[in-house]
Amino acid sequence: MLEPPDPFDEADRIAALRALAILDTPPEERFDRLTRLAQHLFGVPVALVSLIDSQRQWFKSSQGLEVSETPRNISFCGHAILDDRVFLIPDAALDPRFADNPLVSGVPHIRFYAGYPLTLRTGQRAGTLCVIDYQPREVSAEQLNMLRDLAQCVSEELEWGRQLARASEHALFQARYVSIIASSEDAIISKTLDGVITTWNPAAVALFGYTKQEAVGQRMAMLIPPGRENEESGILARILRGERIEHFETVRLSKGGQLVDVSVSISPILDEDGKITGTSRIVRDITGRVKIERMKAEFISTVSHELRTPLTSIRGSLGLMAGGVAGELPPQAKSLVDVAYKNCERLILLVNDILDMEKIEAGKMDFHPQTIRLIPLLKQALEGNMAYAQQFGVTYELAGDLSDVTLFLDINRFLQVMANLLSNAAKFSPAGAKVLVAVNADDSRVRISVSDQGCGIPGQFRGQIFQKFSQADSSDTRKKGGTGLGLVISRAIVEQMGGKIGFDSKPDVLTVFYVEFPLWRQPIPAGADEA
């Protein structure tokens, strides 16, 4: 007996068969009428719609046979699906491939078999429409053509069933999708690539004031306030590059002309071929949150400004007292004055950082860039922060004397960034350690690195390192103090001057913070300040 081999596309064939979702389903009249017709046209006792699964042949429709399936390895249909032509066996007892097959030598004693493959639109052959007799027989070419036509009808029924199932699933999905859109508290809007609104849910009506009839068919531009016209083109360009935009905060215009603070998440709409045909956006009203944030910022700004003047006066007075201007203080009193002076310094630092953050967020931080030689400026930064490092028993060292490196930046802002990096490195270094400041340059950029051998940055905290008020939450770190604003301010300053800031850290081994700036190619004019 010759067992049927697997077709060359067996994995795809099995996947296509199972995608029909028809295996082990009840009999259906649409298939039974075709097997009855085949049985009548050939005058045979058995006609089957046989689907070839991985280990069996299963009969979706069976005329004249009581069983619902048989093993694939003894099946005739397993051979029939190897070709796209009819598979014909006039007398199985005389065919060496089947003479000792248990279906031939035993019950039901098959002699005649003719099977035509059921070919799907994707090219795979799912099974056969076959006719069987218990007597040898010959058939005409006309009969075989009729079997082919009936097999094509069975294939179309299989495809129609799959399409019907898909349509039902799609209709169910659409119904659920519509229900979700209708009940969503967020505005859900879709539009074509050329900006025409195609869907507008009840939440969009509540948010923007336009009814569905007023919005659908109109252009999205009616929601864009003056001065923000370029946002939509930028969003579309990103979507066409395959991006999804999450929580983009902006301002939109309502029907009554009021500005609405919103957070927008945008996704592409794809057709059946995967081509982008439009965008879908979820729009959330964040007016309340933005109002609270503005009130908080205004409150902090007002308090900070009001604190700065008295704090400066208090610090000056305490400094004079600590310096003995008012006479020699008793040791206990001097100790208390020193503590008050240091805490006053910390408060002033916090106030200054908060005011800097306010300027950055309002876009009002002033920059006055000029050409400057880097190494003298770095030496100035190290000298200015040496006293701070000494209180931790730490020293600074400059490596890489690239005396010809010239940058174009704001000197005071650069010194502010370096003060932050140097002070962080000092306070997180063990006593007696050395903080290394290195300078490296290539043809276009220069990198300034500040390295320390302190506790490092925990892995779970690295994504937050440049966020406001961020500090690694451990006792070893909290006791070091700081406002949690220094690195945020430093990043804003560096980026405003055309640079970038980053870090590498191996806990308890080495932490390196670095800033990079483009080299300045034009020579410094004679007599220019070199710090």
CA neighbours closer than 13 Å in the CB half-sphere of residue 386: 9
Instruction: Say if CB 114 and CB 88 are below 8 A apart.
Output: yes
Alpha-carbon distance of 199 to 181, in angstroms, equals 10
Residues 254-272, mean pLDDT to the nearest whole number: 89
| Same domain? 97 vs 212 | no
| Same domain? 21 vs 141 | yes
| Same domain? 320 vs 408 | no
The pLDDT tens digits of the residues spanning 27-79 come to 999 899 999 999 999 999 999 999 999 999 999 999 999 899 999 999 999 99
The pLDDT tens digits of the residues spanning 103-162 come to 999 989 999 999 999 999 888 999 999 999 999 999 999 999 999 999 999 998 888 866
Per-residue pLDDT at 180: 62
Output the CA–CA distances (angstroms, integers) from residue 144 to 81, 151, 195, 346, in the order listed. Answer: 16, 10, 57, 97
Say if 329 falls within a structural domain: yes
The pLDDT tens digits of the residues spanning 337-349 come to 888 877 777 677 7
| Same domain? 301 vs 279 | no
Residues 159-170, mean pLDDT to the nearest whole number: 64
Q: At what angle do helices 411-427 and 374-390 cross, to 10 degrees?
A: 40
The pLDDT tens digits of the residues spanning 188-232 come to 889 999 889 998 989 999 999 999 999 999 999 999 999 888 888
| Same domain? 272 vs 300 | no
Say if 479 falls within a structural domain: yes
| Same domain? 231 vs 334 | no
Query: pLDDT: is 350 or 478 the higher one?
Result: 350
Residues 455-474, mean pLDDT to the nearest whole number: 64
For residue 515, give both structure tokens: 């800033």
- Using pLDDT thresholds of 50, 70 and 90, give the confidence band for residue 303: low
Task: Name the maximum alpha-carbon separation found in the chain.
Answer: 130
Of all residues in the chain, the percent with pLDDT exceeding 90 is 39
Say if 4 falls within a structural domain: no
Q: What angle do CA 16, 22, 24 make, to 5 degrees?
A: 125
Instruction: Say if CB 41 and CB 149 are below 8 A apart.
Output: no
Cβ neighbour number for residue 317 with a 10 Å cutoff: 16
Query: Does the pLDDT at position 531 exceed 70?
Result: no
Q: What is the CATH number of the domain that holds 347?
A: 1.10.287.130
The pLDDT tens digits of the residues spanning 72-103 come to 999 999 999 999 999 999 999 999 999 999 99
Residues 280-297, mean pLDDT to the nearest whole number: 83
Alpha-carbon distance of 1 to 74, in angstroms, equals 8
Q: Count the domains in the chain.
A: 4
Of the candidates 352, 429, 350, 358, the residue with the CA atom closest to the CA atom of residue 394: 429
| Same domain? 509 vs 413 | yes
| Same domain? 235 vs 352 | no
Query: pLDDT: is 480 or 211 the higher one?
Result: 211
| Residue at token pair 């697997």 | 6
| Same domain? 276 vs 339 | no
Say if 173 falls within a structural domain: no
Of the candidates 418, 383, 438, 429, the residue with the CA atom closest to the CA atom of residue 489: 418
Say if 178 falls within a structural domain: no
Q: Supply the range of the domain harboring residue 305.
A: 290-362
Query: Does the pLDDT at position 357 exceed 60?
Result: yes
Per-residue pLDDT at 50: 96
| Same domain? 193 vs 324 | no
| Same domain? 356 vs 464 | no
Say if 44 falls within a structural domain: yes
Q: What is the CATH number of the domain that holds 396?
A: 3.30.565.10
Give the mean pLDDT of the chain. 84
